[in-house]
Amino acid sequence: MKLIGVLGGLGWEATSRYYRMINEYTQKQLGEQHTARILLHTVDHAAIKYHNGRGDLKKVVALLSEAARSLKDGGADFIIIANNAMHEFAAQIEEASGIDLLHISDPTGQEIRDAGYSRVALLGTRATMEGDFYSDRVLSISGAGVITPDLHDRIEINRIIYDELSRGVLRCGASNYLEGLIETLRRRGAEAIVLGCSELTAAVTPDRDNVRIYDTTRLHAKAAAKRALEVSYA
């Protein structure tokens, strides 16, 4: 079984979900007594937010790359970043650390491609929704066009993620708002919804008849576990 390097702490609740999901899949495949081989490096989220807020992206990359190198030095066979937005720097982190990085967009893009969808909607932080680092990668793998909510909705989603969900607060009002927004996006032609933020996993119900929900966190965690299990258990 390969050793999964998890670059976490962005924030810690999302990291804990990754840990649980990876182990759930591993146990499903190997049996209840088995656990995944995971090496975790938790960065200080406040430091990342501070430098990112000041526009010092070089410092952000430096901190994340240092964490990735520590995972490599610890024996990790590959790494994952337990956060959607920080994948903006995925290529730089992978190059600086010299270790293979499993990108969060790739499993979702492949699922969308297999389903044959031509148009999907992306929900996440403003950085994820407004940047091209995420949507372009999904497009290149799946061939599907990617749409996002209007500006006022992007601002509100961003607020919900940072002011509520990332702090462990889940209000009925936020869940109802997101449900309504998903219906609006469906009417705009979205055949599926991509949850491009780990915190949204707790706020959006995945099971519904009218539109498919792709939980990138769950798909990413499953892909990491599957890659780790490519080597037969011994």
Does residue 146 fall inside a structural domain? yes
Rounded to whole angstroms, how far apart are CA atoms 223 and 228?
9
- pLDDT of 230 reads 87
Same structural domain, 194 and 118: yes
Helix (H, G, I), strand (E, B) or coil at 195: strand
The 10s digit of each residue's pLDDT in 142-192 is: 999 999 999 999 999 999 998 998 888 888 888 899 999 999 999 999 999
Does residue 24 fall inside a structural domain? yes
Same structural domain, 152 and 91: no
Does residue 81 fall inside a structural domain? yes
Same structural domain, 49 and 118: no
Does residue 180 fall inside a structural domain? yes
Same structural domain, 43 and 137: no
Rounded to whole angstroms, how far apart are CA atoms 129 and 223?
23
Same structural domain, 63 and 119: no
Does residue 136 fall inside a structural domain? yes
Same structural domain, 79 and 153: no
Residue that is written with structure tokens 């962005």 in the block: 10
The proportion of the chain whose per-residue pLDDT surpasses 70, expressed as a percent, equals 97
Confidence band (pLDDT; 50, 70, 90) for 209?
low
Same structural domain, 99 and 109: no
Rounded to whole angstroms, how far apart are CA atoms 224 and 202?
20
DSSP letter string, 172-186: HHHHHHHHHHHHHHH
Torsion, CA 101, CA 104, CA 106, CA 108, rounded to 10: 160
Same structural domain, 85 and 115: no
Does residue 78 fall inside a structural domain? yes
Distances in whole angstroms, Cα of residue 10 to Cα of each of 47, 58, 146, 160:
10, 17, 25, 16
By CB atoms closer than 10 A (0-12, 13-18, 19+), residue 211 is: middle
Contacts of 49 (CB under 8 A, 6+ apart): none
Range of the domain at 167: 105-216
Across 51-197, the runs of DSSP E, i.e. the strands, are 78-81, 119-123, 145-147, 192-195
Contact 165, 129 (CB under 8 A): no
Same structural domain, 24 and 90: yes
Contact 190, 147 (CB under 8 A): yes
Does residue 234 fall inside a structural domain? no
- pLDDT of 207 reads 65
User: CB-hemisphere CA count at 13 Å for 90?
Assistant: 21
Based on its alpha-carbon atoms, the radius of gyration of the chain, rounded to whole angstroms, reads 17
Residue that is written with structure tokens 């997101």 in the block: 178
Does residue 233 fall inside a structural domain? no
Name the average pLDDT for the chain. 92
> What mean pLDDT is predicted for residues 67-71?
98
Same structural domain, 51 and 87: yes
Rounded to whole angstroms, how far apart are CA atoms 150 and 147?
9
Number of domains in the chain: 2
Confidence band (pLDDT; 50, 70, 90) for 234?
very low
CATH number assigned to the domain comprising residue 185: 3.40.50.1860
- pLDDT of 199 reads 86
Same structural domain, 98 and 17: yes
Rounded to whole angstroms, how far apart are CA atoms 223 and 234?
20
pTM: 0.89
Buried-state track 110-121, b at ≥16 Cβ within 10 A, e below 16: ebbeeeebeebb
Contacts of 185 (CB under 8 A, 6+ apart): 121, 147, 149, 193
